[in-house]
Structure 1
C-alpha cells in the first residue's frame, strides 16, 4: 500500500485545483468542472474562487456565464447548498442528486414543515409546472403553486421555508434552478426551458448509478485521497453507507493508500502523481467557502497550525477567507471596497518568510485590480 504524507497530499491537491499554477484565461468552465461546481452560498465567493485559479478573469465573467450565455446554472446541490454547475454537466449532477430527491426523511418533512410525502411530491411537481418557460419570484411561485394545488396553505409553505428547504426536492429532480434576480428579489425558473432558450442541446439522460460513480470519480480526482467520511460529508453531510457504495462501484479504478497512518481512497491512475508530488511555491488568497478549505474541514489538524480551527471554521457554518501557502492555511484575510480603494487586511497565524509576504502582496494587488480599485494593504499578526 502506498504511504504518503500530508505535505505530499497538499502539493497534489493545489496542483489539481489550479492553485499552484493558474489555469489559462478562458478556462472558467473547465475549472468549475474540475472543482465539481462552485460553492455559491455567497455569490462573491464563487467569483473569487474562480479568480484565484484562472488567469485574466474578467470582473463580470461569472455573472455573464450565468445570465447571458447560460453556461453556468445556479441551483441547490451537494449538502443542499447553492452551487454553480456547468450547464453541459447538469444532467450528470441531477441524476446523482435524484438518488436523494426528497432531500429529507419523511418524518422530518412532517415534523418541521407540516407536509406529508404525498403533499411534498405534489408540491414539487406543481413547482416544476409553474416554472416551465417562466421566471417567477418566490411570491409569484407561492401564488402559482397554491392555485395549482387548490390550497393557498400548500403554496404558502414555500414562503415559510426561508432557507428554501422545501424547494430543494424540485432542484434535485431538475424542476427548479435560479434565474436572474429583480433588485433584491430572487427569481426561479426551470432548467430545461431556461437552457433550451439559448439552444443548449438537451443531454441524453444518465442513469443514477452511472452518475453517482462519476461524481465519486470526479471528487477523488480533485479532493483525494479521501475516506468514506470525507466523501459523505462533502456530498450530504451525513452517513457513510452511500459513500461506501459509490467508491465500491468504481472497482479497480480506486485503491487504498495510507496518509500518515489513516487509510483513504485514491484513483489508481493518480497514485504515481501523488507519490511524486513535490511542493511548488504558491501563495493564494482563497475566498470564504473556497472548495479547497471546505474539502479539508476534516483534516485541519494537518493543514492548519496549532489549535486555530475556530479562526477558519466559524459558528453557523461560516468559513473564513484563507491565506494559503503551499497548500497549508497560514492565515485569514478580509477585504472591503471603499470608493476607489480596495482595503485588504491579512492576519497571519505564524511568522511568514519574506517571500510569502511578497507573494501575498502580489495576490492582493491582483485582487484589487480585479475589483477595480487601488490597493491599501494591512498586515496583522
Structure 2
C-alpha cells in the first residue's frame, strides 16, 4: 500500500482547489468545475468561496455568470443542498442524481406528507409547467395544485426547504432563475440553458466521481457517499466501477482511496506559508469533516462543525484549520474578527492581513482586523 504524508495531501488539495496559486477572474468557471460546485445555501458564502480561489473577482462577476451569461446554474445538488455548478457540468450531475430513489421510499413520503402518486404528479407537473420564464414558488405551487387537483400542495410546496421540488432538480427538470424582488424563481433547464443532456450517462457519472477524488481525495467511501448524499453502498459501487484507476493509500495511519494517476504527482509536493480565509460552508471544510482530527485540534471541532449542519468560516494555514473568523458590517467599514487555536507566527499574521485586505477590496470597503 502506498503511503503519503499529510503535508503532501494538503499541498495537493490546495493546488486542485485553487487555494495555493489563484487564477484570474477569466478562469472562474474552471475553478467552479474543479470545486465540484460552490455551496450556495447562502449566496454570499458561494461568492466568498470563489473569492478565496480567484483573483480580481467581484460579486457582479458571479451574478452575471448566473443570470446574464447563464454559464453557472443554481440548483439542488450535492447532499440535496443548493450549489452553483457550471452549465457545461450540469448534465454530468443530472446523470448522477437521476439515479437517486430515496425520495420514493415510504418513510420519505410520509415525512413530507405526500403519496407516491402525488409526488409523481408533482414531478410531471414541474416538467410540463416550467419554461425559461421564471415562476415564483407561490406561482408554481398554485399551478401544480390546480393541475393535480390537490389543494394541499399549495401549502406543502411553499413550506420548508423545497424538499418536494428537489426530485425535479435531481432529474434535471428544474433549476433556479433570477429572483423576482425577494422571491426565488424556478425555470426549466432545457429551456434556460444551452445544453442539458449528457451523451453517455455512465461515463458522466464516472467523470463526476473522478473529479471529486482528484479535488478532494484521498477520501473514504463514507466521505464519497456523504459528499453526494448517496448511500454508502452506492459509493462503494462507484469506486468498484473505477477498477484499477483507484488505489487505497495510507496517510500516516489514515486509509482512504485516491486516483492512481494522481499518486505520482503528489510525491514531491509540500506546502508552506499559504494562508486563506474560507467562508461559511466552504467545500474544503465540508470535505474534510470526517477526518478533521488530522487537520485541527480535535477539541475545537464544535467551533467549526456546529449544530444543525452549520459550518463556520475558517482560517486555513498550509491546508490545516488554524482557527475561525467572521466579518461584520459597521457603518462604513467591515470588522474582521480572527480567533486562532494557537498563537500565530509572524508569517501567519502577514498572511491573514493580506487576506483581510483582499476581502476589503471584494466587499468594496475598508476593513479593521481584530484578534480575539
TM beyond 0.5: yes
Q: Residue deviations 1:324-366, cap 9 Å, x none? A: 0000000111012223211111111101101100110111011
- Shift of the alpha carbon at 1:250? 1.2
DSSP 3-state at the match of 2:84: strand
Q: How does 1:287-326 map to 2 (within 5 A)?
A: 287-326=279-318
Q: How does 1:106-255 map to 2 (within 5 A)?
A: 106-160=105-159, 162-195=160-193, 200=194, 202=195, 204-236=197-229, 239-255=231-247
Q: Residue deviations 1:285-308, cap 9 Å, x none? A: 000111110000001110012410
Q: Residue deviations 1:7-61, cap 9 Å, x none? A: 2211211111111111223111000000001110111010011101111112311
CA distance in 1, matches of 2:21, 2:272: 9
CA distance in 1, matches of 2:153, 2:332: 48
**Residues 37 and 308 of structure 1, relative CA distance in 2, 3 Å threshold:** same
Q: Residue deviations 1:102-145, cap 9 Å, x none? A: 44242123321222222211111101211123211111111110
Gap regions ≥5 residues in structure 1? none
Indicate conservation of the 8 Å contact 1:343/1:377, yes or no.
yes
DSSP 3-state at the match of 2:88: helix
**Residues 15 and 188 of structure 1, relative CA distance in 2, 3 Å threshold:** same
CA distance in 2, matches of 1:22, 1:78: 24
Q: Residue deviations 1:226-259, cap 9 Å, x none? A: 11111011111x5311111111111222112112
Q: How does 1:324-343 map to 2 (within 5 A)?
A: 324-343=316-335
Q: Residue deviations 1:181-208, cap 9 Å, x none? A: 122211111111112xxxx2x3553443
Indicate conservation of the 8 Å contact 2:280/2:313, yes or no.
yes
- Aligned-CA RMSD value: 1.4
Q: Work out the number of aligned pairs and report it.
A: 372
- Shift of the alpha carbon at 1:274? 1.9
DSSP 3-state at the match of 2:212: helix
Tell me the residue number matched to 1:355: 347
Gap regions ≥5 residues in structure 2? none
- Shift of the alpha carbon at 1:65? 0.7
CA distance in 2, matches of 1:53, 1:113: 38
DSSP 3-state at the match of 1:18: coil
Tell me the residue number matched to 1:61: 61
